[in-house]
Amino acid sequence: MPNTQANIQHFYIPEDQSFYLLSSKDAKKLKNWFALCTKELQRLGYHDIQLIGKGAFGFVFAGTTETGQEYVFKFSRSDLPQTIQDRLEEEAYMLSQVSHAAVPKFIAFHRAHNQSILVMERAPGKDLEEYSLCFGKIPPQMAIKVLLQLLDVFNYLHSKANGKRIQIHGDIKPSNLIWDESSETLQVIDWGSSVFAQCDLRGQYVSDNFMDLLSQDMQTSNARLGDVYFIGDEQMQGQLSSPIFDYQGLMSTIYALCSGQGARFGKGVITPNSLGLPKVCADIMNALFAKEQVNRSEGIKYLNTHQFYLRNLVFNPSYTPTETVLLPCYLSVIERDVETVVYSSRKSFLREEVLTDDITIEQSHDAQFERYYKQYLQGMGDNEKAFITAVSRLGKFPLVGGMAIRWDKQGIEVDAHFTLYAHSMQRSVEQSLANVITLARAIHRKGVFKACLFDAKMTQHFSRESATDIFVIDSAAKIPYRVNNELNDVQLSREHSYFEDGSDPDENLTLPLGIQCVINELNTIRHSGCIIFEVLSTHMKIHSSLVLLDESKEVRFKSLLDDIIRHVNDINDMGMAGFMKLPGKDPQRFSYAATAPEHFYPRNVKQRQTNEKRNDHFKR
């Protein structure tokens, strides 16, 4: 088991280490590495090389062959332990075993200078996580298409026909499904968790003969963990590998896509019955999410025997359910590329939860498991995990701002302000914000949760040789801000300092008096946003997203921000400290609610459609 204590060092943990938050040395190393990969691929005769994705294990490039075929090159991260890097070769082998139209073909596996590269065909389209971030919750008719196509892949994968071994994918989730909008077809990628199944769907050992059974250690699971945000109980508990894993991944995927979330944890609050799905689909989802294994197995059986019924469900393309905006997001006048990073007080949020070891599988060397630990999800209840995950998802939009949620006896009080830099994503962002609120309403606790979203491209970096040296300050270093008069009618903003309720456990950096005085004076000028100081032994970062709301004070505001830079070398402590100011009118209040209201796809759509058609005809 990884040492939890050792992993929990900083409170404000970015979801993913943004390139823009790396020290200049690390950023240069990564840039050089990308350049090297690109050069290497060009040398091999590929053109139009671009970085198209990154995951926990590696980076993915795309390139085109001389004959115009598009390939994908998956590089393992060179900073991972060798045992994990070797997994890419196993992934290549498992992919090479698959021959299905919905799976990109394996091309080659190379190892050069300690660097492994997996080459495969490029699946056309967008991965479904990105798709759902762009367009929000997917409609039920699309969900059914995704579901049926995945069942078709499973049908092939899990079959023993023609001497084939039962293979499981083991990591079905939105970002591993590439959706081609024009043909409405999907392709399944990322075979890094794929194994040959030890059991079939009925739980019978899979083996061709008796001797095989004797020679195999049937007590030890060969399962890979998959993504902890999407896997089911069987895989999480390290049971023998079976096709059940894929059905759990499938249902988590459909659930996440239909609810606009990035995980399955919220299913007890944003229930399958609240997603606007046809009742039969919600029933199947409920069965697959059931606590009792027997109900889950029944659900899979039902799903497989009722595919015909699902295929023939009728939807009304003009039907759009009404949606309530619980928290608005404001659109910036200018659209631009923002590298959003979320810093939140999730560590103190978790600290209140009882830490229990709910994982029994020996997974200490699994990178996914590390990620789970790093994000402090282990030991939390499902609703809390869902809430934290929903906040993290906000960081995937070009969105800046902040939010403070306070739980009290009557419910929650929410102070928030968000600005979105891509107008087309407004619906998706507002759905994600609504999810944060719905999940917060289902959690009973006392205290405050705070989250700041800022653009990592605006972060100011300072470096020094060692912890006892002073930081080198570039004369051009400036804390950026923008001026906005649009919010002038808003009442004086409320400050949310992380110190506001006395000494905050999330704060472990003591700022020098000079900076504290500047912050106090800044607080008297109408502005919103956040400023966060992060001091490491040889690297210091000042993250910010400041909006001045009183133009008449601009000269003073600017000079105070310059004063902060001047005082940087008075800091003789390490850790983090931050301040957030929200322009909030009155904070919004919401009562507690254990679950979202029920909502199914309306029945008799066919009849309504026919009536509508008849009326249309009549009008003509």
Ligand X SMILES: Nc1ncnc2c1ncn2[C@@H]1O[C@H](COP(=O)(O)OP(=O)(O)OP(=O)(O)O)[C@@H](O)[C@H]1O
Under rule CB under 6 A, residue 52 binds ligand X: yes
Kindly identify the residues of this chain, within the stretch 74-93, that bind ligand X according to CB under 6 A.
74
Which residue is it, tokens 């002073």?
470
Span from 16-24, 188-196, 530-538, 589-597 in contact with ligand X (CB under 6 A): 188-196
Under rule CB under 6 A, residue 176 binds ligand X: yes
Of 21, 123, 186, 571, the one binding ligand X by CB under 6 A: 123
Of 18, 34, 55, 609, the one binding ligand X by CB under 6 A: 55
Residues 296, 287: contact at Cβ < 8 Å? Answer: yes
The separation between CA 440 and the C-alpha centre of its own chain, rounded to angstroms, equals: 18
What type of residue sits at position 610? T
CA proximity to 376, closest of 362, 365, 361, 392: 392
Span from 50-58, 329-337, 448-456, 532-540 in contact with ligand X (CB under 6 A): 50-58
Residues 498, 345: contact at Cβ < 8 Å? Answer: yes
Span from 56-64, 260-268, 411-419, 588-596 in contact with ligand X (CB under 6 A): 56-64
How many whole angstroms separate alpha carbon 419 and alpha carbon 330?
A: 5
Burial class (CB in 10 A: 0-12, 13-18, 19+), 115: middle
Instruction: In angstroms, give the least distance from the CB of 404 to ligand X.
Output: 31
Q: Which is nearer to ligand X, 55 or 238 (by Cβ)?
A: 55
Start-to-end C-alpha separation, the chain: 71
Under rule CB under 6 A, residue 224 binds ligand X: no
Span from 48-56, 151-159, 295-303, 357-365 in contact with ligand X (CB under 6 A): 48-56
How many whole angstroms separate alpha carbon 285 and alpha carbon 267?
A: 10
Q: Which is nearer to ligand X, 60 or 542 (by Cβ)?
A: 60
How many whole angstroms separate alpha carbon 401 and alpha carbon 433?
A: 12
Interaxial angle between packed helices 128-135 and 244-259, expressed in degrees from 0 to 180 and rounded to the nearest 10: 20
Instruction: In angstroms, give the least distance from the CB of 176 to ligand X.
Output: 5
Q: Which is nearer to ligand X, 169 or 527 (by Cβ)?
A: 169
Integer CA distances (angstroms), 1 to 4, 347, 361, 463, in order = 8, 20, 10, 34
Under rule CB under 6 A, residue 388 binds ligand X: no
Identify the sign of the CA torsion 291, 295, 299, 301: positive
Q: Give the bridge partners for 400, in sequence order.
A: 419
Of 178, 223, 303, 350, the one binding ligand X by CB under 6 A: 178
Kindly identify the residues of this chain, within the stretch 100-119, that bind ligand X according to CB under 6 A.
104
The number of residues that bind ligand X (CB under 6 A) is 20
User: Which parts of 72-226 fold into alpha helices (H)?
Assistant: 82-85, 87-96, 128-135, 140-157, 210-215
The separation between CA 92 and the C-alpha centre of its own chain, rounded to angstroms, equals: 25
Of 122, 158, 267, 496, the one binding ligand X by CB under 6 A: 122
How many whole angstroms separate alpha carbon 253 and alpha carbon 288?
A: 12
* 74 assigned to a ligand binding site: yes
Residues 230, 246: contact at Cβ < 8 Å? Answer: no
Of 40, 127, 384, 430, the one binding ligand X by CB under 6 A: 127
Q: Which is nearer to ligand X, 75 or 462 (by Cβ)?
A: 75
Under rule CB under 6 A, residue 58 binds ligand X: yes
Under rule CB under 6 A, residue 189 binds ligand X: yes
Of 120, 282, 436, 443, the one binding ligand X by CB under 6 A: 120
Which residue is it, tokens 């929990």?
8
Q: Which is nearer to ligand X, 74 or 496 (by Cβ)?
A: 74
Binding residues: 74
Residues in touch with ligand X (CB under 6 A) = 52-53, 55-58, 60, 72, 74, 104, 120, 122-123, 127, 175-176, 178, 189-190, 192
Binding residues for ATP: 74
